[in-house]
Structure 1
Amino acid sequence: MTAASARTDRERGEQLRAILRGTGVPSQRLRDDGLIEEIPELAALARTPQDPMWHPEGDVLVHSLWAADLAAQHADETMPPPPQDARELLVLAALWHDIGKPETTQRRNGRITSYGHAERGAEIAVALGRRLGLPVPLVRAASAIIATHMAHVSVAGRPSPKAVKRLRDRLRAAGTSLEDWAVVVRCDGDARGAAARPDASIPWLRVAATLPPLLES
């Protein structure tokens, strides 16, 4: 038994947090530290295929690690020096945004689908965060982003002010923001490589800018 495999879940959680909050490329540090193999929910991502039309980059793990790296890059480049809490949330939400796909992926008429993966992913994130001993506020915020990271798919064109306000308020109640959500949505899209599309969060942010400002509680 290796020293890594002998770690407890709490110790794995502490190491995960160190990677999320620290410097460097998260995907490389996760691989080097053996955390992907030690956390079953992450290991399962490598066994979960994606429709090559929408995800030519590869399986769910390839996509999720790429998204996490992009989120870390965003934090490091736009918030110098990046607040550790902000970097931790963005990278965790990006890393786990598709964690529900292993349980929801199916082949339908020759295509690969994962309907409901966002909602299921949020549930898995809560349970996994509890098992790893991650801070409750961090897990609550990340799970809210995970649950809603596909919200833009159900809206064609410009979202309504009501839809944007509903999403903004839900995220705020969970301790995060529409801006954090937008970063994860952007990273999710960019981590599709050749299938990347224009940033789906931009219309939502534009509408949000027209809403009355949030009152500080």
Structure 2
Amino acid sequence: MISKTEVFKDIENHLLYDDKPSSYLNDISNSELFKEYPLNWLRDMKYTMQSPKHHPEGSVWNHTMLVVDEAAKEKHKSKNKRVFMWAALLHDIGKPGTTKVRNGRITSYDHDKLGAKMTEKFLEEFSQDREFIEAVSNLVRWHMHILFVLKGLPFGDIEGMKKHTDLEELALLGLCDRMGRTGADRDEEMKNIDLFLDKVISKV
């Protein structure tokens, strides 16, 4: 029987080399291994719903599969494809643990913060490369700051984001995140990402 470590390596190979990693991921997500720690954290995304207004594609898993496929198209622009693709897969891993229904609205406040901690624990099960683990975790931790900056929200930590991430890598992940929604407009989202970079760079 294939081990969890072998599945991790297989996932990584498909993330790095497939045009549509979601095909493999959807297949493997139905395996018994996805019921075991920490792969069960990925499985939990399949049963976590999102706001239909912002995510008409449905579950966190459905969104993540769209993001991963977008990331596969964009990874040639990344300075570290391995970090970038794992961040695409794990960016919303914190949503199952933070999703609540408040006044009829589905929210997942602080899923980025919880997700960063979960990303570290997830990757530590398979890798001892601290630089790799921290780089992925940091992209997960700060990925929501694109929205915070664009909307001028007060609870962002711009200096922390600039200290702990490569802004171009974060912006590339952000583009894929925003494109990972049913009906997303690429031209509009690229303008949003350019605006994010302009706003952040102007604060340097």
TM over 0.5: yes
Secondary structure, in 3 states, of the residue corresponding to 2:101?
strand
Cross-structure match for 1:169: 163
Cross-structure match for 1:187: 176
> What's the CA shift for 1:204?
3.1
> RMSD of the alignment, in Å?
2.7
Secondary structure, in 3 states, of the residue corresponding to 2:189?
coil
- Is this contact kept in 1: 2:150–2:195, CA < 8 A? no
- Is this contact kept in 2: 1:25–1:69, CA < 8 A? yes
| TM-score where L is the length of structure 2 | 0.82
Q: Does 1:104 align with 2:93?
A: no
> Kindly tell me: are residues 63 and 134 of structure 1, through their superposed partners in 2, closer, same or farther at Cα, counting changes over 3 Å?
farther
Q: Does 1:72 align with 2:72?
A: yes
Cross-structure match for 1:124: 118
Which stretches in structure 1 are left out of the alignment for 5+ residues?
Answer: 1-5, 172-176, 213-217
Match of 2:198 among 199, 203, 206: 206
> What's the CA shift for 1:41?
1.0
Cross-structure match for 1:114: 108
Please give the residue correspondences for 1:1-217 in structure 2 after superposition, counting only pairs within 5 Å: 6-32=1-27, 34-35=28-29, 37=31, 38=34, 39-76=39-76, 78=77, 86-133=80-127, 135-155=129-149, 164-171=158-165, 177-194=166-183, 198-199=189-190, 200-210=192-202
Which stretches in structure 2 are left out of the alignment for 5+ residues?
Answer: none
- Is this contact kept in 2: 1:96–1:121, CA < 8 A? yes
Which whole-Å CA distance do the structure 2 matches of 1:205 and 1:110 have between them?
34
Paired-residue identity, %: 28
> Kindly tell me: are residues 195 and 109 of structure 1, through their superposed partners in 2, closer, same or farther at Cα, counting changes over 3 Å?
farther
> What's the CA shift for 1:46?
0.6
Q: May I ask how many residue pairs the two structures share in their alignment?
A: 194
Q: Runs (4+) of structure 1 moved beyond 6 Å? A: none
